[in-house]
Amino acid sequence: MSEKKYKIGYTCGVFDMFHIGHLNLLERCKEQCEYLIVGVCNDDYVRNIKHTEPVVEENDRVRILNALKCVDQAELVSIEETDNKMLALKRFDFNVLFSGDDWKGSERYLKTERDFAELGASIEYLPYTKGISTTYLKKKMQN
Ligand code: CTP
């Protein structure tokens, strides 16, 4: 019998230059679900939406995530699947989406919460680790 709140959990991000903020997030996700799927934003997303060049290429980012104890399955996701979480839900059929708490209460996520509710899926908001990000690491290396 399961002790976890959810069966299948999903989270999504770039996870470039894997750092402690990423690990904190993924470990918190895995505390709440039996099986954790990670959607890894592809290089097109990083270039066209974040307007920056990935340091670690998409297939290597997927391999690193798949090697972690707290991750059960990591897969590349498209720009469309990153922007429209209903597409991710259709593809992976998860019970819960984990997102950063900076999105909580935003128009976009309130709508996603309503759409998900009709399909029996939830959203859980998790805290962002302060003081670390891929952007921060890139800047630190430049100095
Ligand atoms: N994340 C986090 N704490 C951090 C950095 C990231 O919880 N300090 C989470 C993000 O909220 C996201 C996931 O980790 O859910 C993947 O983050 P990513 O897209 O790689 O963002 P950053 O590391 O912040 O990179 P960037 O500086 O390019 O935005």
Alpha helices (H) along the chain: 20-32, 43-48, 58-66, 79-83, 85-92, 107-118, 134-142
Is-contact 58 82, C-beta < 8 A?
no
Q: Is residue 10 part of a domain?
A: yes
Is residue 8 situated within a structural domain? yes
Domain that residue 60 falls in: 1-82
> Could you report the per-residue pLDDT of 95-137, keeping only the tens digit for each?
999 999 989 999 999 999 999 999 999 999 999 999 999 999 9
**pTM given for the model:** 0.96
Determine, yes or no, domain membership for 52: yes
- CATH code, domain carrying 49: 3.40.50.620
Q: Per the domain annotation, does 21 fall within a domain?
A: yes
Would you say residue 49 lies in a domain?
Answer: yes
Whole-angstrom distance, CA of residue 83 vs CA of residue 116? 15
Q: Which of 100, 104, 83 is nearest to 26 (CA)?
A: 100
Spell out which residues line ligand 1, taking CB within 6 angstroms. Answer: 11, 13-16, 21-22, 25, 100, 128-129, 132-135
Per the structure, the count of domains in the chain is 1
